[in-house]
Amino acid sequence: MQTKIDDIINRYQEQFFTFARRLQDIKFTGLVVFVIIVLLISWSGVKSIQSNYGLQKQISGLQQQNQLQQLANKNLQLENEYYNTDTYQELSARQNLGLAAPGEKEILVPKDVALGYTSPLPKATKTDTPSDKQPRSQRNFEAWVNFFLHRQT
């Protein structure tokens, strides 16, 4: 057993000394230094590309927010212009103040007559199911399980 360990140690020492002798060769040392420099430059390039990508994503997000805000501003500007029109002022006076244009007559229709020409809304029936009594988190979990297992509810 000891001889196997001694053989392994001798083999590693021999490999180390061979590597040390190769380092004394200027060509091999130059090649190792060159490979290390190439790896460092490549790593630096990858890091700069990664940071540029992150910054570009950030710029894109900010540009989208800026465009969204510009659209909101334009919408508010158009809304303000609409509020200044005669049409809006006339509609607002009719709805809120009960005013009418000259020559118009107001007709009051009783509520039961007006509702007589409408169709009734369907009544919503609420049935108590066991899932209504479960906590929301449990219903959510079960919905995801059903989704992933392609179950129909």
Quickly list H helices, 2-135: 2-24, 26-83, 86-92, 111-115, 130-133
Tally the C-alpha atoms within 13 A of residue 72's C-alpha that lie toward its C-beta: 6
Q: What is the pLDDT of residue 121?
A: 78
What pLDDT band is residue 152 in, cutting at 50, 70 and 90?
confident
Query: Is 131's pLDDT higher than 60?
Result: no
CA distance 34 to 43: 14
Query: Domain extents for the chain?
Result: 1-101
Query: Is 51's pLDDT higher than 90?
Result: yes
Q: What is the pLDDT of residue 116?
A: 85
Q: pLDDT per residue over 142-151, tens digit each?
A: 989 988 888 8
Q: What is the pLDDT of residue 109?
A: 85
Q: What is the pLDDT of residue 16?
A: 84
The lowest-confidence range among 28-42, 64-78, 86-100, 120-134 is: 120-134
Helix orientation angle between 26-83 and 2-24, rounded to the nearest 10 degrees: 80
Q: Tokens 């020409």 correspond to what residue? A: 117
What pLDDT band is residue 15 in, cutting at 50, 70 and 90?
confident
